[in-house]
Chain A
Amino acid sequence: MLRKILIGVAACVALTACSNNSDKAADGKAAAASVQISGAGATFPAPLYAKWAEAQKAETGLALNYQAIGSGGGIKQIKAKTVAFGASDKPLKPEELEADGLAQFPTVIGGVVPIVNLPGVTPGQLKLSGPLLADIFLGTVKKWNDPAIAKVNPGVTLPNLPITVVHRSDGSGTTFLFTSYLTAAAPQWAKVGASDAVAWPTGQGGKGNDGVSGYVKQTPGAIGYVEYAFAKQNSLAHASLQNSAGAFVEPTAESFAAAASGADWTKAPGFYLLLINQPGQNAWPITGATFILVHKAQADAASGKAVLSFVDWAYAKGDTAANDLAYVPLPADLKQLVRASWSTIVGPDGKPVFTPAAQ
């Protein structure tokens, strides 16, 4: 009986799948460009890429198959040329790009936000500096009422609670950005270093953003760090951070945009730039872009063109979707800079595969 039902279900699925396919084919023909591009990599921008892809499919017929397998996987796959583009939260250094003949450019901006669970302290009320954050994550500052924390938080009643450090257990671009910030802001962090997974001196590891926020919510006195978009969507209690101008800022779309616009991308070959500790009174100190990687020499000009036109469309019309999902769009001048860089991505005939229309 069960078997019959299963067979029936399988048959139905198969039938609908077939009819869907034929629908898609028909749509594709109608919309002239029935190109399918494949990408793989970072999980952080995956929801946004999916949204952009959906909108573009309706408009231009361009279909994107994006697999959110993680930045490391994305880098491996583009090097192996199994996908049309790779995506990574961790930019490759210019010499690495050179070695594999890759071009790299940012698509959207995000950042990392420290989240806390402190009874009696309202979100954003707790202020922390880079060195203080490093001492907490090193385990040298162990209690919330430590004089070092009290000094930068006058007027805040800090509880006599042990500090529980929560970090990501899985390798992640979020960890890379966070530890890069600690390395830049605090000399004592040098012994741990910056990478997408590090040897944490103390604390617990939660899997993914939800694992970290789960531990933080359940542990009074806990501090962790998550993606800005995740913190915003889940209204997590964040801490304010001191930026390089000495001001304490809150993580908002404006402070991320301030960090992005303060940066000088023209002096960053291969767009290798972490937006850490950027100048500006309002700049959020742990900001970073997520990147797309493509081969400079495209064996299949049509697929290279499709990837670049996908990004071109996203730059032109994708900002609303990005804002809706709590990502921060790139500043206009940076978009122009990226578009100009595409002249180095060429097809087998040596000509650029895609020339963006003048904006």
Chain B
Amino acid sequence: MTAVAEAGAQPRAARGAALDRVFEALCFGAATFLLTALGGLVVSLAIGGWPAFERFGFAFFTSATWDPVQEVYGAAGAVAGTLVTASLALLFALPLAFGIAIFLVELCPPVLRRTIGTAVELLAGIPSIVYGMWGLFVFAPWFAKHIQMPIMMSAEPGTIWETITTGVPNGAGILSASVILAIMILPFIAATMRELLLTIPAQVRESAYGLGSTTFEVIRNVSLPFVRTGAIGAVMLGLGRALGETMAVTFIIGNAHGFPTSIFASGSTIASTIANEFAEATGEAHTSSLIALGLVLFLITFAVLALARLLIGRQAHA
């Protein structure tokens, strides 16, 4: 009786082990495939951008000159534009996204929960070119009339406030690009935050309420600390998207090379410069400078993700 059972179990176990090995190999293959693709991408960007690095040296990172006629290129203006717009976008989107997520999970009446949740997810599905067109034709004129003009007119002549608010009063520039970016990354952060808050066990929250905490106290002292690690990841996801966003920014940032000197000034980002010029770039210096810009963007994104990992790691140990 026992012998029969053992004989039956033996081949089953062997088969299971074999299947397991195949499964492991497949998973390993999937992971290494991605790594190989990533490595290949970095290498080809480096090779493509090498002539630019060779020709301009370190000045490629410090100069804001971008002159296709003289064939002199520097990435500083685009890098500054990218960092400024992405950080401002994050600054605008973060409180809103957290507000949306907390409302949906903790406070929202069940009837509204689905509607608002779906609306947030729909926002994430709108193609970026639509944001660009909407930004240029609808948002920019409104922004110029109701935000930019009042601010510009309230600035005292000769003050630093005037310097950082000068610009063309048509709603195109660094600040409006940041606002559009904020709207674009909002659903990503909000949706991820909502999922995170939903993972909090009901007992944890209910215990806090049971101890007499107010809603605000529960959120501040229980819910948010519980999801802190994941929340950093959600924010970095949003930041990564803001750094690389192309079309919408191209339409509304005003596309001027060089350092932006005011929040209403025209600027450019790495992605918008590549989108604008790659199709028509014929000279080697021009093409390789654009590819080198791509590599710089990759490095910035990588640095942001690495920073996020570092923060998450520290939190996990604390």
Contacts and interface: CB of A to CB of B under 8 A. Distances in A.
Given A73-B279, A211-B136, A204 B144 contact: no
B22 to A, nearest CB: 27
Interface string B69-85: 11000000000000000
B279 A195 contact: no
A219 B257 contact: no
B254 A204 contact: yes
Interface residues of A, number: 32
B69 A164 contact: no
A205 B276 contact: yes
A70 B280 contact: yes
A218 B282 contact: no
B65 A199 contact: yes
Given A199-B65, A199-B69, A205 B254 contact: yes
A215 B279 contact: no
Given A172-B280, A205-B255, A218-B170, A199 B136 contact: no
B281 A171 contact: yes
A250 B275 CA distance: 34
A200 B280 contact: no
Contacts of B68: 171, 195-199
B103 interface: no
B280 A196 contact: yes
Nearest to A162: B168
A194 B68 CA distance: 9
A222 B170 contact: yes
A91 to B, nearest CB: 13
A159 interface: no
Interface in B127-182: 136-137, 140-141, 144, 168-172
Contact of B144 (A71, A205, A218): A218
Interface string B255-270: 1110000000010100
Contact of A207 (B70, B137, B250, B280): B250
Contacts of A169: 250, 255, 268, 272, 276
A280 interface: no
A215 B136 CA distance: 8
A288 interface: no
Interface of A: 69-73, 75-76, 164, 169-172, 192-200, 203-207, 211, 214-215, 218-219, 222
